[in-house]
Amino acid sequence: MSTDLPNSEDTTLLKAAHTARNEAHAPFSKFYVGAAVMTSTGELFSGCNVEISSYSLSCCAERVAVFKAVSAGHTELVSCAVVTDTTPPASPCGACRQVLSDFSSNLRIVLSNTGGDVRITNLKELLPHAFKPIEVLNKLNHGN
């Protein structure tokens, strides 16, 4: 994980993620998260975490943003920003990492907190051995 300075696209994503974080629904944990993804066509989709009293039914901000992009017809992502109030900035959970990996093999990840700390990484660093359904299907189809 690096402390590189964010580029202009990162800054745009971070603003969208900060805005989304303001809408987070986290009445139990008080852990408010905002996320934004950028598609290969440059469109932005943001999301916030939504907690439900039955925790397993809750949804993380990253997945909300991805699902909004996909529901609008976008399946190729190039970057994702996540904003929390933790120090250091929190990275996506394992489930979100897997969801993100289905839409990009090496997604740029920009992590930030409400204090302005920024960390830049990528999905291959966070999830080096992601499950890829296409690999499994190829093995099944070719008998390997």
For the whole model, what pTM was predicted?
A: 0.89
pLDDT of residue 106: 86
Complete domains list, the chain, with CATH:
8-142 (3.40.140.10)
Percentage helix, strand, coil for the chain under 3-state DSSP, each rounded to 5: 35, 25, 40
pLDDT of residue 134: 64
Q: Which of 43, 62, 76, 135 is catalytic?
A: 62
Mean pLDDT per block of 10 residues along the chain (144 residues) reads 78 98 97 98 98 96 98 97 97 97 93 96 94 65 60
pLDDT of residue 138: 62
62 among known catalytic residues: yes
pLDDT of residue 137: 57
